[in-house]
Amino acid sequence: MKRIFAAMAALCLMASGVTHADTLSKIKSSKKIAIAIDLGAAPFGSYDNDMREVGSDVDTAKLIAGGLGVDLQIVPVTSTNRIPFLLTGKVDAVISQFGITDERKKVVAYSLPYASVPVILAGPPDAAIKEWADLAGKSVVVTRGTNNDLDVTRNAPAGTNIVRYDDDATSMTAIISGQYDLFATSPALINTINTKNPALKLDRKFVIRDLPFGVGLRKQDTDLKESIDGIIRTNLSDGKLSAIYQTWHKETLPESVLAAKQP
């Protein structure tokens, strides 16, 4: 699957000249920006009781669309297909807990980080796991195509059984239903799991890394990147992005993100 998507992404790259030359003016003239969000990953993106889209990424997308003065069109994606959606011009931007990494920078451009979360390895309270070496012989759940997948694949010792699911929703279901109990993901998702199944009481075993999130953009859309960077700076300064983070992640926005505030 991953290989299929990699091949698709490579094809997309070859043809990236095909996509709209000037995305920013297209957005302005159509008064609409299409943003890809994973709606299967509460609290970043999910549905509320009335099946309306909610979450920190949804609120951030609304801020960006508001800042550009256009309407927001949410396109639901998953962590595996968000890059093809962006590169083939199906969406104008990706706000989908999209971690900034060097590998991805080869194919997509990022705005300034608008949030940052640690990636943790979580497990049941009685599991004696403090570092990578303790994972040998255990099963760890990751969501395919995420940084967490890369990190675990790279660092887990031989004999670790890495269980990959196609999206966060399925990974979470596997944990909540008790099929597996170790999960490499963000603390926010672990909180969601614990509220849904309080018996699990999953806690943080160790921090894998801090992962800054940026708005994913096509490389040639430099004008759009400039506008979005400006909007992020403004909203970091007036505290709106901090408020979103506080609301959904119950923590204060890390200093590393706030550093980009408007001077």
Partner 1 sequence: MPEFGPNQFVFLLHGAVWTIALSVLSLVIGAVFAFVVALCRISGSRTVRAISAIYVQAIQGTPLMVLMLISYFGLNILGVDVPALVGATIAMTLYVSAFLGEVWRGSLLSIPRTQWEASECLGHSRAARMRHIILPQAVKISIPPTVTFMVQIVKNTSLASIIGFVELTQAGKLVNNSTFQPFVCFLCVAALYFAVCYPISLWGRHLEKQYNVVR
Alpha helices in the chain (DSSP H): 2-14, 23-30, 56-68, 82-87, 102-105, 147-155, 168-176, 187-196, 222-237, 240-249, 255-258
Determine the 3-state secondary structure of 213 from DSSP. Answer: strand
Q: Which amino acid is at 63?
A: L
Quick check: 41 binds partner 1 (CB under 8 A)?
Answer: yes
Burial class of residue 83, CB neighbours in 10 A (0-12, 13-18, 19+): buried
Binding residue (CB under 8 A) for partner 1 from 23, 24, 60, 85: 85
Among 2, 31, 130, 196, binds partner 1 (CB under 8 A): 196
Interface with partner 1, residue 195, by CB under 8 A? yes
Classified as helix, coil or strand, 3 is: helix
- Kindly state the smallest distance separating residue 43's Cβ from partner 1, in Å: 10
Please state the closest distance from residue 230 (CB atom) to partner 1, in A.
29
Minimum Å gap between C-beta 171 and partner 1 is: 10
Q: How far is the CB of 247 from partner 1 (least distance, A)?
A: 14
Q: Does 77 bind partner 1 (CB under 8 A)?
A: yes
Longest distance between any two alpha carbons in the chain, whole Å: 57
CA nearest to 192, candidates 55, 82, 77: 55
**From 15, 21, 136, 259, residue interacting with partner 1 (rule: CB under 8 A):** 15
Q: Residue count at the site for partner 1 (CB under 8 A)?
A: 41
Q: C-beta of 143: minimal distance to partner 1 in Å?
A: 12
73: contact with partner 1 by CB under 8 A: no
For 191, other C-beta atoms within 10 Å of its C-beta total 16
Q: Which of residues 203-242 bind partner 1 (CB under 8 A)?
A: none
Q: Could you say whether residue 160 binds partner 1 (CB under 8 A)?
A: no
What phi and psi, each to the nearest 5 degrees, are found at residue 118?
A: -75, 150
User: Which residue type does 107 have?
Assistant: V
Residues that bind partner 1 in the complex, under the rule CB under 8 A: 4-5, 8, 11-12, 14-15, 18-19, 39-42, 46-51, 75-77, 81, 84-85, 88-90, 167-170, 172-173, 176-177, 192-193, 195-197
